[in-house]
Amino acid sequence: MPELTLIKRLDGSFVPATHQDAQHCEKIKVGAGIRAEWKQKRNIRFHRKYFALLNIGFDAFDPGIQEYKGFPVQKSFERYRKDVICAAGFYDVIANLNGDVRREAHSISFGRMSPEQFEELYSKSIDVTLQRVLTNYTHSDLDQQVNRILGMC
């Protein structure tokens, strides 16, 4: 079962915090009961800011190849998100059954990453995005785009 982040509204209802959370909630049938444990989360606005940054980069990301061994290559937000996290230096090195070694992105769930670590991840993710995807942007350009998405400007 996925971990979800929800935001409490003034009317007492809860809504998904991110697009990914909403996708998981869509799988729950209307009227179905769910069991939940809750923890107070870090700054949800900052979490949204991180996803705004990721979405800007993902929208501009071009994988370059269109086909691999006869299969169409598709962009994946989850893969992009994990790649940015790894490129920012937040990963563990693991081996699979074949003995292949790869990087596994750290979880950015509220319970697994401290606010300080998340701030460092955000800063380094900006660097990764500017170096690898939005190479014609400045830090200021990217900040303006993120803030525009969040309605801060």
Position 127 scores a pLDDT of: 97
The one-character DSSP state at 84 is H
Q: What is the mean pLDDT of residues 140-144?
A: 94
pLDDT, tens digit, 9 for 90 and up, residues 30-62: 888 888 777 656 677 888 899 999 999 999 999
Global confidence as pTM: 0.70
How far is the C-alpha of 42 from the C-alpha of 118, rounded, in Å?
9
> Token pair of 142, please?
């990217």
**Would the pLDDT of 6 be above 60?**
yes
* Helix, strand counts (H, E) of the chain: 5, 6
